[in-house]
A and B are shown apart, each in its own frame.
Chain A
Amino acid sequence: MVDKKIKTLGDALRRNGVSRRGFLKFCTATASMMALPPAMVPALAASLDKARRPSVIWLSFQECTGCTESLTRSHSPTLENLIFDHISLDYHHTLQAASGHAAEAAREEAMRANEGNYLVVVDGAIPLGNPGYSTIAGFSNLQILEETAAGAAAVIAVGSCAAFGGLPKADPNPTGAVSVRDIVTDKPVVNVSGCPPIPVVITGVLAHFLTFGTLPELDEYGRPKAFFGTSIHDRCYRRPFYDKGLFANTFDDEGARKGWCLYKLGCKGPMTYNACATVKWNEGTSWPVESGHGCLGCSQPDFWDAGGFYNALSIPVGDISRTTSYAAAAGLGVAAVAAGINHKTKVAARKRHDRVTIDDLEKIS
């Protein structure tokens, strides 16, 4: 990791050959991305330059390590990555060299030394169904989170599992998984949702924390507004095709080749708030819709349960065709009974209208 002699972020960046110009460019980009006024750029640069290494404890619960993969591998080497490298990552299952008791000792040491000042990053959901579903060194995820968050300055929930419960919480939620916010209620919690989340969002949150010592403005789901303020749909470069009514009907038809709107192929862009359409992925190379696949809505709560990935957003979650058929069958069943009763009435009515002859009357009497 980073040399212990390097005291500030500025030192670390200079040592890695980042020019002053490159650094300021990063600060300007970060400030604009986070919707800070241009006047804030020098302040951002000065603060980041002098920023000390914050201690970060990274807790992994019910997760797939995809978030760590996304953050550590996608942009390498870039300024985002260097900032990520600069933090004192004192505990991280995947990246730490220590194991067993030594690893847990490192976490406890970091908590003691930086009481009240360290950041906790969480990826993965916390199972409440049975503590044994997910344990680390004999402790349940719940115990570790409660213990570690108690002395933290703030908690960053990285990925949709930590932010909203994600895949572990998907119906029928066999482990009773919950999000970080369901457990940590007395500390600021930032949700950086996505499956995986965009790397620059977490560095943006870190930069904000290093600069101002506070967390950025959050939306109703606890996500930084700067990145989750607008929907994929509103920023999508394919939006004009949606407005014109030009859609791809399959993944290989003329519309797909011409880059028309993917709404009919199940794009969840209209309900999804994330920065993919503007920030893009892999150093701005592309993003799902640009590569020809609709948005899955991975930064929204419960996106696994929001209906088929390839069903248009207007299609209900359940099997609408089956519901309709069953309802029609039930309706016809009831109607058939009613018709039977009506038939009786009809026959009775016809009987009343039958002409009676003298012979009939004689027979009756």
Chain B
Amino acid sequence: MNDSMDFLLWTRGTAFDVAIAIFIIGLIIRLFEIVSLGRERTLAEPKGSEFLPGVKTILTRTLPDGGTFKRQPLTVIAGYVFHVGLLITLLLFIPHIELFRETFGFGWPGLPNPIVDAAAVLGVVGLLAALWNRLTNPVMKMLSGGEDYLVWVLTFLPLLTGYLAYHRMINPYPLAMGLHLLSIELLLILFPFTKLMHTFTLFLARWYNGAMSGRRGVQS
């Protein structure tokens, strides 16, 4: 009888606990796996320092690369628009900050809702543009596999359902909120086992690339 309310309580209760547990355990194992992997010792003499080139690569690979921009402007623009929109929505929306505060014991100031609302729209538009690019650009299409479309859906659903819930476009509200939470739980569960892991590994990977080049004495 009380379907939507039961659904909301389940997504706010059991389902969230299960999802967050899988997410945290998976995340730690994956990160630990990468950091502690038994790589064989390099016996060659280092030809330069690792530290500075590592830091430099973190910066240079974060900024758009001119060549890529010329060849595939949409990839760069959609990528930036989506990521900025998503990060603002995720990290600076007051209800989200309250969740982080409850989890970690500390929070930070948020943005007024209309600004977050605009950021969410940017995120959605960016994702749609990225998908369109993936489907129409022959190179992107060839490079894309099932996992790419899966992570696109996993990222798109929380933004979409969150937007619909905030604007109360799905009734009743408990159903809208429950769908939003369910989409996030799906994302959390699959996060450690897909390329969504780049959220945590990107700086590690960028530093490693630069550091290895530095050690070999080549330009990073």
Contacts and interface: CB of A to CB of B under 8 A. Distances in A.
Interface of A: 164, 179, 181-182, 219-221, 231, 233-234, 242-245, 247, 263-264, 270-271, 273, 300-302, 305-307, 311-318, 320-321, 323-324, 326-328, 330-332, 334-335, 338-339, 342-343, 345-346, 349-350, 353
B147 interface: no
B103 A320 contact: yes
Contacts of A306: 8-9, 12
Interface residues of B, number: 51
B2 A316 contact: no
B113 A343 contact: no
Nearest to B26: A331
Interface string B23-47: 1111111001100111111010000
Given A244-B113, A321-B102, 11 more contacts: A220-B3, A221-B5, A263-B94, A263-B95, A318-B17, A320-B20, A327-B24, A335-B32, A343-B36, A349-B40, A353-B40
Contact of A323 (B21, B39, B41, B98): B21
B4 interface: yes
Given A245-B113, A302-B2, A307-B12, A324 B103 contact: yes
B102 A221 contact: no
B173 interface: yes
19 contacts: A245-B111, A263-B95, A271-B174, A301-B2, A301-B6, A312-B95, A314-B96, A316-B12, A320-B17, A321-B103, A324-B24, A328-B28, A334-B29, A335-B36, A338-B29, A338-B36, A346-B38, A349-B38, A353-B43
Contacts of A164: 2
A187 B80 CA distance: 58
B205 to A, nearest CB: 19
B141 interface: no
Given A334-B29, A338-B33, A345 B96 contact: no
A317 B36 CA distance: 36
Nearest to A247: B94
Which 8 pairs across A and B sit closest by C-beta, in order of nearness?
A331-B28, A335-B32, A327-B24, A314-B95, A345-B38, A301-B2, A312-B98, A245-B112
A342 B37 contact: yes
B121 to A, nearest CB: 16
Contacts, number: 148
A350 B43 CA distance: 10
B162 to A, nearest CB: 11
B63 interface: no
A353 B38 CA distance: 14
B173 A323 contact: no
B102 A331 contact: no
A349 B42 CA distance: 11
Interface in B9-23: 9, 12-14, 16-17, 20-23
Contacts of B36: 335, 338-339, 342-343
A161 to B, nearest CB: 14
Given A306-B12, A331-B29, A338-B29, A324 B38 contact: no
B112 A244 contact: yes
A220 B7 CA distance: 14
A271 B20 contact: no
Contact of A338 (B12, B13, B27, B32): B32
Given A301-B2, A321-B103, A316 B16 contact: yes
A193 to B, nearest CB: 11
B138 interface: no
B41 A350 contact: yes
A220 B21 CA distance: 34
Contacts of A243: 112-114
Contact of A321 (B8, B105, B112): B105
Contacts of B86: none
Given A302-B2, A332-B28, A314 B98 contact: yes
A314 B8 CA distance: 11
Contacts of A307: 12
Interface in B75-108: 94-96, 98-99, 102-105
B29 A302 contact: no
